[in-house]
Amino acid sequence: MLQPRCGVPDLFTNPNKNPPFHTISHYSLLPGNPKWYWKNLSYSFDRNVNRAARVPLQRAFKEWESVTPFKFYYIKNISLADIQISFERGDHGDGYPFRGTIDVVAHTFPPPDGRVHFDLGHALGLDHSMIFKAVMFPTIYRGERKGIHKDDIDGIKKLYNL
């Protein structure tokens, strides 16, 4: 049975060159290591994101704020926001259509694009983790809630040289 998952392909580009793959870190960074070069990031919601869905997303921003150097602030105009959150269906014009099945539930574009179709970690530059409890693990079970894991934090620290 397929589990709902992120639509970003699993590449597992391990940034730890020494040793090549014998490491305790299981995070991965997106190809090319895209990242933000400023720490105050604006975000906005498309009108298709209802108020009930905004609350957990705002909590997620606060959680990422607590473990990263980023400060997130809301602005009304989505076209001016660094991070643009929308919920989409089918072919929605970004080249990565949702096919109407429950297997792919999200995808996000890396910095500096900022389009988020549900996953904030990719918007910060992280790729998937091989740690089941990590936010960046590519699948999630119905009703499951995850907090940011040490592996997610280690990935951010590596990417942003913290």
100 assigned to a ligand binding site: yes
22 assigned to a ligand binding site: no
128 assigned to a ligand binding site: yes
Residues in the chain: 162
127 assigned to a ligand binding site: no
26 assigned to a ligand binding site: no
150-159 vs 51-67: helix crossing angle, rounded to 10? 70
149 assigned to a ligand binding site: no
Q: Is the peptide bond before 19 cis (omega within 30 degrees of 0)?
A: yes
Residue in the block written with tokens 């895209």: 34
136 assigned to a ligand binding site: yes
Cβ 5 vs Cβ 108: under 8 Å: no
Tokens matching residue 122: 């990719």
Q: Report the binding-site residues.
A: 6, 82, 92, 94, 100, 107, 117, 119, 122, 128, 136
Q: Report the binding-site residues for Ca(2+).
A: 82, 100, 119
Q: Report the binding-site residues for Zn(2+).
A: 6, 92, 94, 107, 117, 122, 128, 136
